[in-house]
Amino acid sequence: MAQLIDRRPNAKGKSTVNRQRFLRRYKTQIKKAISEQISERSITNVDGGESVSIPTRDITEPTFRNDQGGVREGVYPGNKEFAPGDKIKRPPGGGGGKGGSASDSGEGEDDFVFEISKDEYLDMLFDDLELPNLQKNQLSKMTKSKTVRAGFTNDGVPTNINIVRSLRSALSRRVAMGAEPRRRLRELEAELLGLQQDVGGDEGRRRELEREIEALRNRIRKIPFIDTFDLRFNNFVQRPEPTSQAVMFCLMDVSGSMDQETKDIAKRFYILLYLFLTRSYRDVDVVYIRHHTQAKEVDEEEFFYSRETGGTIVSSALEMTRDIIAQRYPPTDWNIYAAQASDGDNWNDDSPVCEQILAKQLLPQLRYYAYVEITRRDHQGLWAHYENLLAKHDNFAMQHIREYEDIYPVFREFFRKQTQ
Amino acid sequence: MSEPISTGAEWTFELIEQYHAEIEAIAEEYGLDTYPNQIELITAEQMLDAYASVGMPIGYSHWSFGKHFIKNEQQYRRGHMGLAYEIVINSNPCIAYLMEENTMMMQALVIAHASFGHNSFFKGNYLFRTWTDAEAIIDYLVFAKRYINECEERYGIDEVENLLDSCHALQNHGVDRYKRPNPVSMREEQERLKEREAYLQSQVNDLWHKTIPRKEAEEERERQPNFPEEPQENILYFVEKNAPLLEPWQREVVRIVRKIGQYFYPQRQTQVMNEGWACFWHYHIMNALYDRGKVTDGFMLEFLQSHTNVVAQPDFDSKFYSGINPYALGYAMMTDIKRICVDPDEEDRKWFPDIAGSDWQQTLDFAMRNFKDESFISQFLSPRLIREFKLFSILDDEQQSELEVTSIHNDSGYRYIRQALSNQYNLSMNEPNIQVYNVDIRGDRSLTLRHIPHNNVPLADTSEEVLKHLRRLWGFGVKLETVDADGEVIRTEECAA
């Protein structure tokens, strides 16, 4: 007799280890592929995994093999018109003489394309990175409470009555309270029946029995259908939960000096930041604030692609951020992040103001403020004033980006795992 | 007539047991000698897992298996690839995996095909009997997995991974093609493991102690006998025994890869026979079930549809053509042998005087036990089949601008085609003939391989990479010489120390 084994419930993904080994080995290539694809994603599109393609030549497993050429003879099925001695033109794509399938071998240099899951994608993207101040944040943020079910209680408000449980306990109480009288009743009825059949029965005893039966019936009848004692209530308690919402302010200078390339670089940076935040927070709001001499809250499309001209006053955007936080995102409920991208231009008298607003008003409320300066020129006034902030505020960071290639390293620099 | 075992498409464990019992009874009447069966139900995902690890239920971890898994999974998801209905493992008990998606008919078919067809082939065929040990393979794989795991813990994943990469590159050249190996045995392996580590190292030390490199006159070196004295085809074995710098654990890993390669070697040599034998028997068993009223007409139609697909041979110019289908050829040959035994005509009597009219079960059993693909074809491919398949042979000579049709399915071509087809299944003709030729034990310790091209077929340019891997195993420079028919070196490839 055969042994029949159901393996289906066994742990799936026996190859998971091997798959991880594969990803581990080709980490460099995969990371490269991922960073090339970043520009094609919208900031908030992080639901899917990613299709990654790495060159096949990197992952071949070489063996000693025969190449095309030399003298070889093959046998094929389905001869139709050939006779011995016939000459056939060599089909393109190498020898072998396999009419139809010769092209298969010719196209072996395709890339190896495969899907990685969202988690794997993000892991690759944020390898070794850590959300700033996360630890501290989670400890201090146990403020938000959430109502959760917590079983049943015997008292509560009428709206919370659990009907099924209440009736169930009423029923069991009725059964319990009636059990003894009913048993007694059955005994007496049996005795009465005996007396009635016995012609010379004891008349006094019979009457006594009837009276007693009547009393018992009354007693059973009087057991209440439902009693306050039976009522059961759904119980709810408030449980403190670490807040899982974050808001990310994207600040960008759109004055005439910012060209499309600079904006694209900024976009990539924001995508990274958004992806990064969604790793740690369930809900992430994004607020786009663009500014020249005045700040304006806009949607993503307008943020990146509409053109503006004019001078630059950075403090206008900072003030707007402060106001929006005050109106919509109380820091007790929200983890607030802000990232500012600029080419470094600012109206000179404005830079000290920016420093003041950040130091006094914004930074105390923010988890993290990142400033990226995207320019190939030298730093200007804003950079110098921001540098003053660095020493005093560990939730403030600034970096300089020159080229596309800088984005990722700079991003990593911002969020590098904080050493103890 | 009895009641059919089942009427619906759904399978249950009880039904599988009933079918198995019926099939077992039929197989016994046909005289199939099998290992006990172990049937395991798995999901499609688990099937993909099994694919990735070349069908073995337990394997050590390596990125290349992950790559194959990802590749198969992609194709499967996109619908480019169907999954096999079963995988069967040459072990005792014989483990067959059945996919849960299969219908009841398919499960019965798979049981007949794998648990009795392949199973009896594994047990009977001489290659499997000599080269593999069905009793021990599972234990050996468990041992290998654990050993490699331990190595990873002790020496780091990267170290082990690099070593395995190098071994895999040479796995096809890690088999003894002619010499009979000792069957793998779990207990012995473990008992001897410690002993062997020490012994291997002492052997190697011995060889190299006496050979501290020193400058010698050219002519004196000429007089040195080659080491090894005879060229050796099993490169991995040579490395395991003689590589100067390998640690004992590294030698053990080389050995594991070599042993597993060796274990699969018979499968690669008997594809046509093995599949043909299994198809032949599932066909007979299913028909016997039908004749006994155990299955319905619908069941039979579903079976025939599936069977026909499996054993179909598209023509060379069809878009479905991808070489000769081993199922089609094998099944046709097995069926044809039966026909020659039961109902021979003049031609058969002339071509197969020994078997025409003999007992077909005995003849088939003999064929199954004593041949591999190449000898099986050169022995049993009949003119009738050559006509049925309309086989023709084409000579592709690099020197000529055109291909030549050398023979077709006619009187003068039968023998030629039979030989050509047999050659096509001769692994040693299809894999480059590369042997360990010499080690410069008194000089720079470099290893020289010799490639003897068959019919001037050149080596693919992957050889450069493979040499790097061999260089890693050997520890010193590695050279690959290609020699012509006269033994003259015509090309040298080198991977310096």
Q: Are residues A340 and A315 in the same domain?
A: yes
Q: Are residues B349 and B318 in the same domain?
A: yes
pLDDT for residue B381 is more than 90: yes
Q: Does the distance separating the beta carbons of A78 and B40 come in below 8 Å?
A: no
Q: Are residues B289 and B352 in the same domain?
A: no
Domain that holds residue A183: 158-235
Residues of chain B contacting residue A10, judged by C-beta atoms under 8 Å apart: 46
Closest residue of B to A56, CA-based? B67
Whether residue A26 lies inside any domain: the answer is: no
Average pLDDT, chain B: 86
Closest CA–CA distance from residue B395 to any residue of chain A (Å): 4
Whether residue A296 lies inside any domain: the answer is: yes
Q: Does the distance separating the beta carbons of B389 and A73 come in below 8 Å?
A: no
Whether residue B242 lies inside any domain: the answer is: no
Residue type, B140: Y
pLDDT score, position A44: 61
Domain boundary among B372, B403, B429: B429
CB nearest to B100's CB, from A8, A14, A95: A8
Whether residue A408 lies inside any domain: the answer is: yes
Tabulate helix, strand, coil % of chain A (nearest 5).
45, 20, 35
Domain boundary among A189, A217, A235: A235
Supply the pTM of this predicted model.
0.69
Whether residue A213 lies inside any domain: the answer is: yes
Note whether B389 contacts A: Cβ–Cβ < 8 A: yes
Residues B88, B113: Cα–Cα separation, whole Å:
10
Whether residue B218 lies inside any domain: the answer is: no
Closest residue of B to A9, CA-based? B42
Q: Lowest-pLDDT range, A199-208, A292-301, A386-395, B398-407?
A: A199-208
Residues A279, B101: Cα–Cα separation, whole Å:
37
Note whether B48 contacts A: Cβ–Cβ < 8 A: yes
Q: Are residues A298 and A376 in the same domain?
A: yes
Report the domain count for chain B: 3
Whether residue A18 lies inside any domain: the answer is: no
Percent of chain A beyond pLDDT 70? Answer: 80
Specify the DSSP class assigned to residue A409. Answer: H
pLDDT score, position A261: 77
Q: Are residues A278 and A394 in the same domain?
A: yes
pLDDT score, position B224: 62
Interface test with B, best of A24, A73, A101 (most B CBs within 10 A): A73
Residues of chain A contacting residue B390, judged by C-beta atoms under 8 Å apart: 77-80
Query: Which two structure tokens, joined as six digits, stand for A12?
Result: 């799936």
Q: Does the distance separating the beta carbons of B457 and A70 come in below 8 Å?
A: yes
Q: Does the distance separating the beta carbons of A4 and B53 come in below 8 Å?
A: no
Predicted confidence (pLDDT) per residue in B120-138, tens digit: 999 999 999 888 888 888 8
Q: Lowest-pLDDT range, B47-61, B103-117, B157-171, B237-251?
A: B47-61
Q: Are residues B412 and B475 in the same domain?
A: no
Predicted confidence (pLDDT) per residue in B403-456, tens digit: 899 999 988 899 999 999 999 998 877 888 899 999 888 888 889 999 988 888
ipTM score: 0.82
Residues B441, B214: Cα–Cα separation, whole Å:
10
Whether residue B32 lies inside any domain: the answer is: yes
Q: Are residues A266 and A331 in the same domain?
A: yes
Domain boundary among A209, A235, A261: A235
Q: Are residues B28 and B106 in the same domain?
A: yes
Q: What is the mean pLDDT of residues B265-286?
A: 92
When computed from its CA atoms, the radius of gyration of chain B, rounded to whole angstroms, is 26
Q: What is the mean pLDDT of residues A175-187?
A: 91
Q: Does the distance separating the beta carbons of A69 and B41 come in below 8 Å?
A: no
Confidence tier at A101 by pLDDT (50, 70, 90)? very low
Q: What is the mean pLDDT of residues A105-133?
A: 61
Q: Are residues A310 and A341 in the same domain?
A: yes
Domain that holds residue B350: 311-429
Whether residue B101 lies inside any domain: the answer is: yes
Counting one residue from A and one from B, how many pairs have CB atoms under 8 Å apart? Answer: 279
Whether residue A262 lies inside any domain: the answer is: yes
Q: Are residues A410 and A279 in the same domain?
A: yes
Domain boundary among B305, B330, B357: B305
Q: Which of A65-69, A231-235, A343-347 has the highest mean pLDDT?
A: A231-235
pLDDT for residue A108 is more than 70: no
pLDDT for residue A100 is more than 50: no
Residues B65, A16: Cα–Cα separation, whole Å:
10
Q: Are residues B370 and B462 in the same domain?
A: no
Residue A115, φ and ψ in degrees, nearest 5: -95, 140
Confidence tier at A256 by pLDDT (50, 70, 90)? confident
pLDDT for residue B383 is more than 90: yes
pLDDT for residue A95 is more than 60: no
Specify the DSSP class assigned to residue A359. Answer: I
Confidence tier at B228 by pLDDT (50, 70, 90)? confident
Q: What is the mean pLDDT of residues A51-73?
A: 80
Q: What is the mean pLDDT of residues B314-331?
A: 90
Whether residue B82 lies inside any domain: the answer is: yes
Q: Does the distance separating the beta carbons of A63 and B172 come in below 8 Å?
A: yes
Closest residue of A to B46, CA-based? A12
Whether residue A248 lies inside any domain: the answer is: yes
Q: Are residues B333 and B390 in the same domain?
A: yes
Closest residue of A to B470, CA-based? A63
Residues B457, A94: Cα–Cα separation, whole Å:
13
Q: Are residues B414 and B447 in the same domain?
A: no
Q: Are residues B445 and B359 in the same domain?
A: no
Whether residue B220 lies inside any domain: the answer is: no
Closest residue of B to A66, CA-based? B459
pLDDT for residue A104 is more than 60: no
Q: Lowest-pLDDT range, A190-204, B282-296, B392-406?
A: A190-204
pLDDT for residue A168 is more than 90: yes
Q: Where are the beta strands (DSSP E) in B27-71?
A: 37-42
Domain boundary among A211, A235, A259: A235
Q: Are residues B23 and B55 in the same domain?
A: yes
- Tell me the three state secondary structure of residue A72: strand
Q: Are residues B439 and B424 in the same domain?
A: no
Q: Does the distance separating the beta carbons of A3 and B38 come in below 8 Å?
A: yes
Whether residue B186 lies inside any domain: the answer is: no
Report the domain count for chain A: 2
pLDDT score, position A142: 41
Average pLDDT, chain A: 78
Q: Are residues A222 and A248 in the same domain?
A: no
Q: Are residues A188 and A249 in the same domain?
A: no
Q: Are residues A250 and A162 in the same domain?
A: no
Confidence tier at A105 by pLDDT (50, 70, 90)? very low
CB nearest to B403's CB, from A8, A78, A88: A88
More confident residue, A284 or B377: B377
pLDDT score, position B335: 95
Whether residue B136 lies inside any domain: the answer is: no
Residues B42, A232: Cα–Cα separation, whole Å:
47
Are the CB atoms for A303 and A288 separated by under 8 Å?
Answer: yes
Q: Are residues A302 and A185 in the same domain?
A: no
Note whether B484 contacts A: Cβ–Cβ < 8 A: no
Q: Lowest-pLDDT range, A257-261, A381-385, B485-489?
A: A257-261
pLDDT score, position B382: 94
pLDDT score, position B179: 62
Residues of chain A contacting residue B398, judged by C-beta atoms under 8 Å apart: 69-71, 95
Partners of A371 in beta bridges? A340, A398
Whether residue A119 lies inside any domain: the answer is: no
Q: What is the mean pLDDT of residues A279-287?
A: 78
pLDDT score, position B303: 93
pLDDT score, position A99: 38
Q: What is the mean pLDDT of residues B453-465?
A: 86
Q: Are residues B412 and B481 in the same domain?
A: no
Contacts of A89 (CB under 8 A, 6+ apart): B402, B403
pLDDT score, position B301: 94
Domain boundary among B429, B450, B480: B429
Q: Are residues A162 and A278 in the same domain?
A: no
Q: Which of A9-23, A93-107, A198-212 has the highest mean pLDDT?
A: A198-212
Q: Are residues B79 and B17 in the same domain?
A: yes
Residues B360, B340: Cα–Cα separation, whole Å:
8
More confident residue, B163 or B219: B163
Instruction: Residue window 244-283, chain B: list those with CB within 8 Å of chain A.
Output: none
Residues A172, A169: Cα–Cα separation, whole Å:
5
